Amino acid sequence: MTPPRNSTAARDVAYALHPYTDHKAHLVNGPMVINRGKGVRVYDDQGRDYIESVAGLWCASLGFDNERLVQAATDQMRKLPFYHSFTGKSHEPMVDLAEMLIERAPVPMSKVFFANSGSEANDSVIKILWYMHNAIGKPEKKKIISRLKGYHGITLAAASMTGLPANHKLFDLPLPGFIHVGTPHHYHNALPGESEEDFATRLAAELEEVILREGPETVAAFYAEPFMGAGGVIIPPVGYFEKIQAVLKKYDVLMCVDEVIAGFFRTGNYWGSQTFNIQPDILVCAKALSAAYLPISAVMVNERVFQGIAEGSSTVGTWGHGFTYSGHPVPAAVAIETLKIYDEMDMLSHVRKVGPHMQAALQQRFAEHPMVGEVRGVGLVAAVELVEDKAKAKNFDPAKKIGARLSKLGEKHGVIMRAMTNDSIGFSPPLIISEVEIDEMVDRVGRALDELSVELRRESIAAV
């Protein structure tokens, strides 16, 4: 049905350019308009409720109606609505937040730089790596190794590190100097009979071969998410990061960890680095840092990296990088309050209680389903991967957009889902979700999958 001429939906089609959207299709289908939120639910302009199974974009960790965060922003706007951090200027919220992050870091860190998004933060890290290596007399050490299906954002350097085709096609990316190695997904990429540990050993050997091929003196860093988020919630095999880091240490390659999704309890620890035994030289966080109430991201660097920045800025006269809103006092105040709420709620204990419940509920409902190839996850993040042939782990033809169809049916049944690579459906609900709400979420997804199964059987696409 065509929306009324002056409706929000009609005006959206007329004026808005959406991220990650097929705009020809959008001209016909229009948007889903969300008007309000409460707890783990959002409500559209018709008053229908939806459980937000991915916390928006992995980020609304405290749900959609936390009054303390609203008050923190309001109080700070009245006191100091803006000030910058250029040329040594500072303010209390930025300093307090930096101190809190250093105190909570998974390994000793030295300084914190603030940006506005994960993409900006990851782009900033590339500039930091290039800058510090120039400053310490290693101007050839600039190449960045990341992974196929990894996601690090959409600015030029971050999108070059990202290993997903949609972020490269028609954008003339990746830029030179960005190299991708294999995806640590045992389900699809292991050899027949290969254990997780043997698979991890092979991936580490592949990394070493790439470093030697490129020349260790030219490779600055290895960049990785603790688990792959947008690539399909891919959990690394046993021993993976221990083996990878042994190679990096051997060739003096820095470990950069993208905790934009994984940070702040998502994996059942404060940091994904703790869950998977990673010792980062540089750590990036965002999203749940402010529970998504205002845009803010952070880059934590260790003392070695900071000394390179300090040396370069002394030579040049300044570190010529930063954003108008780096360390903006209002998002910083909201982030401070967010971290306080996590502490007061004992979020770690909560996630360790409800996370296993979600993993078990997803396994119980979907693992044996004929259209489900794998159910995987850790803590309060998971994926259900749809397949055409369960016995052969064969995915559907991407052109059929089976995952997208399930997501659309999910809306009909009152749950917002996200379809990713290989028709993997991601789950990353607000951290505050209860066991009862998890069960309701899984039930709504199950009803949508049952309806999709009937549709595909009628269309002779799947024998289910």
Give, as one character, the DSSP assignment of residue 198. Answer: H
* For the chain, domain boundaries: 32-65+347-458, 68-344
Q: Burial-class residue 72 by CB neighbours within 10 Å (0-12, 13-18, 19+).
A: buried
CB atoms within 10 A of CB 252: 12
User: E strands within 40-125?
Assistant: 41-44, 49-52, 111-115
> CB under 8 Å to 88, separation ≥6 — which residues?
none
Residue 153 in contact with residue 159, Cβ under 8 Å? yes
Question: What is the pTM (predicted TM-score) of this model?
Answer: 0.96
Beta bridge partners of 42: 37, 50
346 Cα distance to chain centroid? 23
> How far is residue 86's CA from residue 17's CA, in Å, rounded to a whole number?
32
| 32-65+347-458 and 68-344, same CATH topology | no
Domain 32-65+347-458 annotated CATH 3.40.1190.20 = no
> How far is residue 120's CA from residue 230's CA, in Å, rounded to a whole number?
17
Give the chain's largest Cα–Cα span: 70
Amino acid at the residue 187? Y
CB atoms within 10 A of CB 67: 7
Token code pair at residue 292: 């998504």
> How far is residue 175's CA from residue 152's CA, in Å, rounded to a whole number?
14
Q: Which of 342, 353, 149 is nearest to 235 (CA)?
A: 149
The domain defined by 68-344 folds into Aspartate Aminotransferase; domain 2 (3.40.640)
pLDDT per residue rounded down to tens, the chain (464 residues): 566 678 999 999 999 999 999 999 999 999 999 999 999 999 999 999 999 999 999 999 999 999 999 999 999 999 999 999 999 999 999 999 999 999 999 999 999 999 999 999 999 999 999 999 999 999 999 999 999 999 999 999 999 999 999 999 999 999 999 999 999 999 999 999 999 999 999 999 999 999 999 999 999 999 999 999 999 999 999 999 999 999 999 999 999 999 999 999 999 999 999 999 999 999 999 999 999 999 999 999 999 999 999 999 999 999 999 999 999 999 999 999 999 999 999 999 999 999 999 999 999 999 999 999 999 999 999 999 999 999 999 999 999 999 999 999 999 999 999 999 999 999 999 999 999 999 999 999 999 999 999 999 998 876 55
> How far is residue 278's CA from residue 315's CA, in Å, rounded to a whole number?
33
Give, as one character, the DSSP assignment of residue 346. Answer: T
